[in-house]
Structure 1
């Protein structure tokens, strides 16, 4: 069998679709070894060992790929126990300079909010009327102070949303209405969900995260009922923040869809939003996020609904330092110059920064596996990874630039225009 055989190509596709499936990846590595592609097999086993460091099959395959026969003695082949001891006893300085920013909890982009599945009805579908269908997170300890940097975002949140909520007397004095929701928009991977969760923490409220998969249903009428049940559950759990993720999917422009079910779902969302200021909805706060606010139905953007918007940009220098420190906190590193790395990663999203740390760790792991000598993750690994990664925010800004130039009706994207001008992209 050759390394380009249909079976191996199919396995590559399956592994790409399920990167955390260790047995599948090891099966691919074994076939690659049999086909004589030892270097490619080593790379696959190295990734498997990242997910399962103690996997015996992975260790045997690594020894075989490196040409070292497996033996019962730990002195033969790659001595994993010695490597662990070496890492544990290492005492070089982890960072070159003292941290200027406290370690902040940051959003891990690929981690979704846990969702409790509803019990199946007789027809095999979950009952949307069951309260267990919606998982409301209890008020957590995540606060805005846990968000590294992003001072402008925090100030805008305080002025537009949090201060009026905290001061009901002043709100009544100045006639400040809480009617309507807050829409967070910006490039993907920049922490919109985490900011929303931090707002819930500031309010001491529960957090109910809803995506398009939670609402849409193939059966007529169920999508609207699901949307209604989301808000009913929030009312039962008040105070509660309802967070609508990917609002463009849940509330896309009705003029662009041919689906009556989708239009009815948007209509139901409009009905629920119009009731946010009603007595029955006391303590229900609605936040939403989207990467493409220009694709959101215009009726959702009018006053009383999502009439307040907040641009969440790629992390600033302070936030990038906090994010990098977070993702390096449990990894074996030495002499890392965060200041230099922060300058090189301007424009990177939080997801990009996590990928930089992951790629650097993968390089060091693979090098250690090939040489049989464990080593720390250093600046060359991190700088090499950062230089190879193109910021994922660039395509978004390229698209947003056209909107800022030709579709900024009523100044709703003035924040975006100001940012593009500061970056000389407009």
Structure 2
């Protein structure tokens, strides 16, 4: 706002940059309250409580911002209000009575004891949440319990994974018969937030392999030659831990086209990555090391990384289908106070939404219900209307990606690299 002080403007920008920083948000709310901007302070306190439901400071600030009684200024005694004085008090007229304090403990118990249908239909089997955490560099995760069955929907992706990657790895006799080496590379590409990392973890679970995540921050180093050594050490770790899945996250950053890279250090990283993928440096090769990579922009990846014997197989990971969207929505609503939510309507309203978009829809609907509850002083459950309203406000984050990918599929599809993307765009009539 034009009349805001520089401090308020700076704090507003800081809160926007770090939405999960509860102490910073509460400090911002205190300043808003000091300037008499109570409604804005209530909104900030509500968001803080969403991130930290048990935060006593956030609750106290919410009470003060709403003008409710506090410990220093209690409400009238339970046995009834004090009689109005017949004459004004010496220091002026008595203040107007205030609303009763919002009882958070009672509200929590009220929500816990709710009885009634959470959804309009019986819950179906839900598959996974579409999300997964990243491992630190050289911190190899033991074989996990996540399997492809835990990935909601996406049957076409699972079938292609099975045929192109998993079946040869599961059948050692056939592999020996046909001279197939126990190594392989697969590039997952598609819009952001659609579960590529989760699928990579599921592949590791199917293979019974350890899992090692690598990103640009794990590799780059300011010292000459250190970045290349980091790449080598990562692959040496994977060879020692074989069978092991090495997951190269954001491959377009790690393996950008060398023709467009002006920094010699980044070009050397790509060269070292090519050497490790070939297994030349180790002498024993990459037997038992499975390389998976993910990128949102495969057209920015160095073409040498996609040659035979390296990341020579690609798989398009599209936004969740209807079955996957239902599973993801159930996951994000599983611990929230909801009532008679019509998942069928919500699934139809969220076509082309990524997994991250669906999580944002649930978060936005919960925030609206929480704010209403704080302002009214009574708990209001999240309804279908809240969720549909949130879905209407939020635009699918996949749309800009498809706009860019459309040009690539139409005019830069050398060797049929993007035939699957072209087929999807034709099905969706986006060509």
The unaligned stretches of length 5 or more in structure 1 are 116-132
Q: Secondary structure at the match of 2:212?
A: strand
* Residue 137 of structure 1: aligned partner: 141
Q: Is the 8 A contact 1:248 1:290 kept in 2?
A: yes
Query: In the alignment, is residue 388 of structure 1 matched against residue 409 of structure 2?
Result: no
1:148-193: CA deviation from partner (whole Å, max 9, x where unpaired): 0000000011001100000011223344455541000000000000
Does the alignment pair 1:325 with 2:324?
no
- In 2: Cα distance, 1:330 partner to 1:393 partner: 27
Q: Distance in 2 between matches of 1:301 and 1:281?
A: 17
What is aligned with 2:246?
242
Q: Distance in 2 between matches of 1:270 and 1:280?
A: 13
1:387-406 correspondence runs (5 A): 387-406=392-411
Residue 103 (structure 2) pairs with residue 103 (structure 1): no
Which of 158, 177, 185 in structure 2 is aligned with 1:173?
Answer: 177
Match of 1:347 in 2: 352
| Alpha-carbon separation, structure 2, partners of 1:240 and 1:293 | 24
Residues in 2 aligned to 1:173 and 1:246: alpha-carbon distance in whole angstroms:
35
CA RMSD after TM alignment = 1.8
Task: After TM superposition, list the pairs within 5 Å mapping 1:157-236 onto structure 2.
Answer: 157-236=161-240
- After TM superposition, the structure 1 stretch with the greater mean CA deviation from structure 2, 277-286 or 206-215, is 277-286
Q: Does 1:113 align with 2:134?
A: yes
Deviations 1:118-174 (A, max 9, x none): xxxxxxxxxxxxxxx611111110000000000000001100110000001122334
Q: Which residue in the other structure is 1:363 paired with?
A: 368
CA shift at 1:16, angstroms? 1.8
Contact 2:154 2:320 in 1 (8 A): yes
Q: What is residue 121 of structure 1 aligned with on the other side? A: none
- What is the CA–CA distance in structure 2 between the aligned matches of 1:36 and 1:278, rounded to whole Å? 71
Specify the SS of the correspondent of 2:318. coil
Shift of 1:114: 4.1
Instruction: Give 3-state SS (helix, strand or coil) of 2:293's partner.
Output: strand
Q: CA deviation at 1:92?
A: 2.1
Measured in 2, the distance between the counterparts of 1:59 and 1:260 equals 54
Task: Tell me the CA shift for residue 281 of structure 1.
Answer: 2.4
Cα distance between partner residues in 1 of 2:194 and 2:283: 33
Deviation at 1:381, TM superposition (A): 0.6
User: Is the CA contact (8 Å cut-off) linking 2:245 and 2:290 kept in structure 1?
Assistant: yes
Structure 1 residue 375: Cα displacement:
1.2
> Which has the larger Rg?
2
Asked if 2 retains the 8 angstrom alpha-carbon contact of 1:148 and 1:319, the reply is: yes
Aligned to 2:84: none
- Cα distance between partner residues in 1 of 2:312 and 2:2: 59
Q: Indicate the SS of the match to 2:397.
A: coil
**How far, CA to CA, are the matches of 1:114 and 1:377 in structure 2?**
34
Alignment-derived partner of residue 89 in structure 1: 113
Q: Is 2:268 aligned against 1:264?
A: yes
Once the two structures are superposed, what CA deviation does each residue of 1:333-378 show, in whole Å capped at 9, x if it has no partner?
A: 0100111100110100000000000001101001100110111111
Contact 2:183 2:289 in 1 (8 A): no
Aligned residue-pair number: 406
CA drift of 1:40 comes to 1.4
Shift of 1:309: 0.1
Q: 2:276 and 2:360 mapped to 1: Cα distance?
A: 38
Tell me the distance in 2 between the aligned counterparts of 1:39 and 1:103.
39
Q: TM-score with structure 2 length normalisation?
A: 0.91
8 Å CA contact 1:180, 1:273 repeated in 2: no
Kindly indicate whether the alpha-carbon contact (under 8 Å) linking 1:242 and 1:287 is maintained by their aligned counterparts in 2: yes
Deviation digits for residues 191-220 of structure 1, max 9, x if unmatched?
A: 000000000001111100000000011111
Secondary structure at the aligned position of 1:310 is classed as strand
Is 1:48 equivalent to 2:48 in the alignment?
yes
Mark the CA change 1:222 to 1:21 in structure 2 (over 3 Å): closer, same or farther: same
C-alpha distance after superposition, 1:15-71 (max 9, x if no partner): 122222111100100111111221111111001001211212111111111121213
3-state SS of 1:25 partner: helix
CA positional deviation for 1:93: 0.7
SS at 1:285's partner residue? strand
The CA distance in 1 between the partners of 2:285 and 2:298, in whole Å, is 29
Structure-1 residue corresponding to 2:93: none
Partner of 1:127: none
Distance 2:357 2:179 in 1: 43
Q: Which residue of 2 aligns with 1:314?
A: 319
